[in-house]
Amino acid sequence: MADFLTYKDKPLVRCKDEIYYGDMSEKFVVKFTILSSKNMGDNQLPEKVKVQLMKSDIQLADKDRIIKETTKDSFYEALDVGFVWLERALKN
């Protein structure tokens, strides 16, 4: 497996304004979509982030893959929610 940034031993992979959290070989992953961001010096920080717990089966249509979704006011809040949702989903 390629070297990815990880959070709590699961990969975080970013493509533009989308960040995927989790291992695609497992049943579920979390998708974060950055809806808006704000400038902080030379950096942009995500301000509004949509969180979606999704089935990792790419054969399904996107709408059929989504299990849960919410919007949070920071990436930190979104990551916390996504982590809990993913851990619970993978236990069942």
User: CB–CB of 35/45 below 8 Å?
Assistant: no
As given in the structure block, the two tokens for residue 89 are: 């989903």
Position 3 scores a pLDDT of: 75
Per-residue pLDDT of the chain (92 residues; tens, 9 = 90+): 557 788 888 999 999 999 999 999 999 999 999 999 999 899 888 889 999 999 999 999 989 999 999 999 999 999 999 999 999 999 98
pTM: 0.88
Q: What is the pLDDT of residue 69?
A: 97
Q: How many domains does the chain have?
A: 1
Boundaries of domain holding 73: 5-91
